[in-house]
Amino acid sequence: MNFRKITAASAAVLALAVTATACGSDDKDSGSSGGGDKVKVGIKFDQPGLGLKKPDGSYAGFDVDVAKYVAKELGYDEKNIEFKETPSADRENALQRGDVDYIVASYSITDERKAKVDFAGPYLLAHQDLLIRADDNIAKGADLNGKKLCSVTGSTSAQNVKKSIAPKAQLRKYGTYSECLDGLTSGAVDAVTTDDSILAGYASQDQYKGKVKLAGLKLSNENYGIGVKKGDTKMTDKINKALEKMASDGAWEKAVKDNFGPANYKNEPAPKIGNIVK
């Protein structure tokens, strides 16, 4: 009888220990505190120079380098980063659903988006620009009048040019920027427009080196931020500290040169955290 009582008591203690261990393991899940087993990061998979999934399954680009640096500062090994594709139209939803912990995907900070998500950064100040043939010269936006301008379907960049800069430009809409680049090199179009960082990424690809160049026009300001779930100030603060460190220790400048260098991209200096250029 006494033996049975001791066994029952031991079983109860064991059950409590298992329960406590299970509860403790929940604290290691990925979340706003950082340092868990895995971190889920949203990036683009189809933007050379920024976020690109390569045929071997690895990832490359400036946004990828920023995402990795931030993850390291949050306490994650690179092997524990889980990259998830986040197309532009799904970025806010991906954060709200909890599909990702943060997003680094040429994500311009706007008032409309700030109503739905929080932003760390900015970590890059980009500008709308033009990509033109290497032997061409477009010195100002108005020079596009009468020329064939390419951008992707749904892009606001081309509409901005038509509305405010060169109303007589002949707009051509293609499905992808790669199609626009092929049209540019073949002579089917005269210029391609979107953010200069995106254009620099494409221009840095081997098949376009020496054939195209950035016009160097600053047609708009695009402040790239890291998207975080609305209200997660703890995560936002940690990412901001990581970005400040990245700028101060030279890693930011190295990432710019590694990813955009072949396009002779004249980047702005690393922006100050919270400084949004209108």
Looking at residue 208, what DSSP letter applies?
G
Q: At which residue do the structure tokens 């999934």 appear?
A: 53
Half-sphere exposure of 253 (CA within 13 A, CB side): 5
Looking at residue 16, what DSSP letter applies?
H
- Helix crossing, 233-248 with 62-74: angle to 10°? 110
Complete DSSP assignment for 71-83 = HHHHT--GGGEEE
Give me the pLDDT at residue 83, please: 98
The reported pTM is: 0.82
Cβ atoms within 10 Å of 114's Cβ, excluding its own: 14
Q: At which residue do the structure tokens 């931020």 appear?
A: 225
Half-sphere exposure of 65 (CA within 13 A, CB side): 21
Evaluated on CA atoms 12, 15, 16, 17, the torsion sign reads positive
Give me the pLDDT at residue 89, please: 87
CA gap 191, 215 in Å, rounded? 9
Alpha-carbon torsion, ordered 257, 259, 263, 266, to 10 deg:
-50
Burial class (CB in 10 A: 0-12, 13-18, 19+), 53: middle
Give me the pLDDT at residue 31, please: 52
CA gap 189, 150 in Å, rounded? 6
- Helix crossing, 177-186 with 196-203: angle to 10°? 60
Cβ atoms within 10 Å of 26's Cβ, excluding its own: 9
Cβ atoms within 10 Å of 83's Cβ, excluding its own: 21
Residue-level pLDDT, tens digit, the chain, 278 residues: 444 444 444 444 444 444 444 444 343 444 544 555 899 999 999 999 999 999 999 999 999 999 999 999 999 999 999 999 999 889 999 999 999 999 999 999 999 999 999 999 999 999 999 999 999 999 999 999 999 999 988 777 888 898 999 999 999 999 888 899 999 999 999 999 999 999 999 999 999 989 999 999 999 999 999 999 999 999 999 999 999 999 999 999 999 999 998 888 889 999 999 999 99
